[in-house]
Amino acid sequence: MPDAEAGGTGPSGAAVLNALPLPVLTIGPDDHIIHCNHAAESFFDASARLMQRRQLRDIIPFASPIIALVAEVRRRRSSVSEYRVELVSPRTGQERSVDVFATALGDNGDTVVLMLQERTIADKMNRQLTHRGAARSMVALGAMLAHEIKNPLAGIRGAAQLLEQSGAEEDRVLTRLICDESDRIVRIVERMELFGDERPVERVPVNVHGVLDQVKRSAQSGFARHIRFVETYDPSLPPVLGNRDQLIQVILNLVKNAAEAIGADTVDGEITLSTAFRTGLRLQVPGSRERVSLPIEVAVRDNGPGITAELLPDLFDPFVTTKVSGSGLGLALVAKIVGDHGGIVECDPAPRRTTFRLLLPMSSARDGRESVVEAE
């Protein structure tokens, strides 16, 4: 097997490695990079020709556990794996969590093959299932609150209005407070009722750029008039299989959160709306063996202060919020709607850069061909 002995650099070996969606590096005895596949070029944001002139420590920090992992493979002359390794690129400073698989190549064992698997996708799947479970747990609660709270509140508000008509001036302040607080509770309960709506969502081919344009115009005419919008769109993006009104609700919610995170007094506030076509991500439909492809990515990024690491695991759970007057139902509702569409919503936090990313299914014709939607 000459190709394998050469570290996969022969014609057939290179073709196989380049077909892999995971980054693969072949490391020589002196830690020089002998070969890398296309996925590795994309992962490290460098060409194969450039990387083959460098050593492993040029693309991976010297203190990284991966360096020790390579040394251990050479010592043991066998395969070694390590999970959830934090990898910071010396070139870009970007931090990623990866699973590392390393094995010795050849008889002497000095050449090592490294394969990296970024944890983002796996963790995204696990967190999404948790978000969906949290959203579904609100269904019964929302229905119960609608019956047990809204009806008594109507009686309380009616009694307060009667007292307001006959009470003294100083008492009217209190009765008005009762009415206002009753109305506020009803609004919260009505939002929670949305979680109990189990009717099938009517989905059709939707031009997501039309949705983004409407959201941007709505935001710029109101709560985000002081913020600059940047649009980075893939013009060849196929239509999403979705409900236009619900998608507007989801993205408007994310843009509103971004504007509030930036703040009303910020002079350099910026929200970036972007779309892209991603291949290779598939999600299994709960309760069946069907796997749905989620190639359409819609992202909302802001340059606000960011989200704390402590809040991130529970970000899409109901009643989790950092706002003084927030109800904590906005992102939970986003998770439910996106889940009803068969998609994924995920937050990628970073200092001065928070990105909410939607991964959605593409609309296809009955015969499997890509469907077409008119521009909106």
Predicted pLDDT of residue 300: 96
Residue 208 · residue 247 · CB < 8 Å: yes
The dihedrals phi and psi of 312, each to the nearest 5 degrees, come to -55, -45
- Give the model's pLDDT for residue 136: 52
CA 281 – CA 295 distance, rounded (Å)? 7
Give me the pLDDT at residue 273, please. Answer: 96
pLDDT one-digit tens code per residue, 200-226: 668 899 999 999 999 998 898 888 989
How would DSSP label each residue in 25-65?
EEE-TTSBEEEE-HHHHHHHTS-HHHHTTSBHHHHS-TTSH
| C-alpha–C-alpha distance, residues 345 and 242, integer Å | 14
Name residues of the chain where pLDDT drops below 70: 1-13, 89-94, 119-148, 188, 190-201, 280-292, 313-314, 316-329, 365-376
Residue 159: its pLDDT value, please?
85
- Report pLDDT digits (tens) over 149-178: 777 788 888 888 888 887 777 778 888 888
Q: What mean pLDDT is reported for the chain?
A: 77
Answer yes or no: are the C-beta atoms of 66 and 42 closer than 8 Å: no
Beta bridge partners of 101: 81, 115
Residue 336: CB atoms within 10 A of its CB come to 26
Amino acid letter at 120?
T
| Nearest Cα residue to 68 out of 94, 33, 31, 41 | 31
Amino acid identity of residue 119, one-letter, is R
Residue type, 3: D
Dihedrals φ, ψ of 218, to 5°? -65, -45
Q: Which residues contact 150 (CB under 8 A, 6 or more apart)?
A: 186, 189
Token pair recorded at residue 61:
């920090």
E runs forming strands in 11-94: 24-27, 33-36, 80-88
Neighbours of 53 (CB within 10 A): 9
pLDDT in tens, 58-108: 888 777 888 888 888 888 888 888 877 877 766 656 677 788 888 988 777
Report the C-alpha gap between 359 and 283 in whole angstroms. Answer: 10
Neighbours of 273 (CB within 10 A): 23
Rounded to whole angstroms, the Cα distance separating 93 from 45 reads 12
Q: In this structure, is the dihedral angle defined by the CA atoms of residues 240, 218, 251 and 227, taken in order, positive or negative?
A: positive
Name 120's Cβ contacts closer than 8 Å, sequence gap at least 6. Answer: 96, 97, 348
Question: What pLDDT is stored for residue 369 in this prediction?
Answer: 40
The span from the CA of 270 to the CA of 54, in Å, is 37
